[in-house]
Amino acid sequence: MNSMCHMFAVSTEGYIPLVECQYDILRTAYKGFAKFISKTMFSWYAMQHLYARQIAIKSHRGDTTFKEDQFLRYVKSDNYSIPMALDEYLCSIGNIDYATTKYQVHFPVWPNNHGHFGRVTDKTHYKYETSLAPRVLSQAILEDLMYTRDPTRSRNWNLPENLRPIEENAGLPTKNLLGWCRSTTLTAEQRESLEGLGLDEDNFEASILQFQMNEGLFERIAYFVRASEKVINLSNQISESVNGSVAPVRWQERDVTNPENFSRTTAYLEREVCQCGPVQEVTNERALIMALRTKKEQIIDKRSYSCYDFGEYLAVPDTWHDTRNKIFEFGRADTWNNCTYRSAYRGKDDVRTSWIRKGLLKNH
């Protein structure tokens, strides 16, 4: 693409809800899957595929490091399958030709060599709210392991001290910290798998820290994903196309006049949203589920997009509020950000479930 291309960025906050819904459907269709693979393990596995897809796009521009190339080669090196619904999401990320203009996707939020985005501050919180930090997903697995060993531990775990906000009233993470979820008890088989690989409270045994890649864990999960092919359609390769879908042209927002109760376990976009954009056909199931571009606002008195609760979202600092839409505003997608057309508000659960079920084989 030439130097006149416009840049834009995507948010991946629609990915984890899709992954978790896929897990719930898969565990019902394939009874043995959840016995060995926990939801946090599956989310971590899906996250590896997400970064592999993004690196494949970056590689077209020669914008990758040796470690990133090494990571991509590994994920591509064998039959590390992923359910088709997740592959469709990944393939939607990419460059777009729209209205005679070329738009090139960029990834301004990217994990550092330790797998995170630095301490959560007014300048970084939006990164954790729009992109998956590998360190968060690996910690979620370890928190499940620690809670299984000691059920008296709080299920509402916090980031390590060096990553937590410095504000005394920040509280604890919410579901807006992408990849965060309350700890849950592992099955005996799940626990045995993790402990057999040497995982412990402060040790994930990552071979590539930037993406928290543990090859033994990745291959074990891949084995059970492949075994599910009798009930669900799988994709067996990472798309290396630089192009994506037009789903990012449509963006989402909440009804700022609709009161809400605080919920630590409900993400900002997992309530009713409308789709907006410069085109009349703004109602699109793919765009609704994927949520690749979102605009966040205060909901009456709550800033419920925050990755930390700050007193049930009532005391999120103004400096945090000022940076909430950094990804939405990135680059030259401003022409898309004109809300010429707006859909009705609707939830996502039924649409997402129906969409994933299309990937089940007919006899299930």
Q: Place 215 in a pLDDT band, splitting at 50, 70 and 90.
A: very high
CA gap 364, 357 in Å, rounded: 9
Of the CA atoms within 13 Å of residue 293, those in its CB half-sphere come to: 28
Tell whether the model's pLDDT for residue 333 goes beyond 90.
no
Q: How far are the Cα atoms of 20, 123, 265, 305, 315 from residue 119, in angstroms, in the given order?
A: 26, 9, 22, 18, 19
Per-residue confidence (pLDDT) for residue 98, from 0 to 100: 81
pLDDT (tens digit per residue) in 276-316? 988 766 457 888 999 999 999 999 999 999 999 999 999 99
The pTM for the full model equals 0.95
**What's the confidence (pLDDT) of residue 293?**
93
- Of 340 and 149, the structure prediction assigns the larger pLDDT to 149
pLDDT at 344 over 60: yes
Report pLDDT for 254. Answer: 95
What average pLDDT score do residues 136-146 get? 98
239-264: per-residue pLDDT in tens?
889 999 888 888 999 999 999 999 99
pLDDT confidence of residue 202 = 85
- Among 120-124, 252-256, 280-284, 330-334, which stretch is predicted with the lowest mean pLDDT? 280-284
- How far, in Å, CA of 133 to CA of 144, rounded? 18
Return the DSSP state at 185: P
CA–CA distance from 12 to each of 9, 167, 290, 291, 315 (Å)?
A: 10, 26, 8, 7, 26
112-116, 235-239, 288-292: least confident range? 235-239
pLDDT at 3: 47
Structure tokens at 74: 């590994």
Share above pLDDT 70 across residues of the chain, in percent, rounded to a whole number: 96
**pLDDT exceeds 50 at position 2:** no
Mean pLDDT, rounded, for 132-150: 98
- Tell me the per-residue pLDDT of 158-192, one tens digit each, with 9 for 90 and over: 999 999 999 999 999 999 999 999 999 999 999 99
Cα torsion 38, 40, 41, 46: sign: positive
User: Which segment of 43-47, 116-120, 202-206, 294-298 scores lowest on mean pLDDT?
Assistant: 202-206
Average pLDDT over residues 88-93: 95
User: Could you tell me the CA-to-CA distances from 33 to 65, 88, 219, 222, 308 in Å, in that order?
Assistant: 35, 22, 14, 11, 32
Query: What does the pLDDT read at residue 184?
Result: 98
Q: Between helices 215-227 and 188-196, what is the axis angle to 10°?
A: 140
List the chain domain ranges.
Answer: 6-235
The two three-digit tokens of residue 332, written as one number: 């030259």
Beta bridge partners of 104: 7
Model confidence over 7-53: pLDDT tens digits?
999 999 999 999 999 999 999 989 899 999 999 999 999 999 999 99
Which structure tokens are listed for 136?
């968060």
pLDDT score for 210: 97
d(CA 118, CA 114) in angstroms, rounded, equals 9
Q: And the tokens for 354?
A: 């129906």
Query: What is the 8-class DSSP label of residue 30?
Result: S
Strand partners, 305: none
Whole-number Å distance between alpha carbons of 342 and 252: 9
Asked whether the predicted pLDDT for residue 334 surpasses 60, the reply is yes
CA distance 8 to 295: 14
Report DSSP letters for 70-122, one per residue: HHHHHHHSS---EEHHHHHHHHH-SBEEETTEEEEEE------TTSS-SS--T
Looking at residue 341, what is its pLDDT?
Answer: 86
- pLDDT at site 4: 60
pLDDT averaged over the chain? 92
| pLDDT (0 to 100) of residue 318 | 98
- Confirm if 226 and 79 have CB atoms less than 8 A apart: yes
Which backbone phi and psi does 181 adopt, to 5 degrees?
-160, 160
C-alpha–C-alpha distance, residues 253 and 256, integer Å: 9
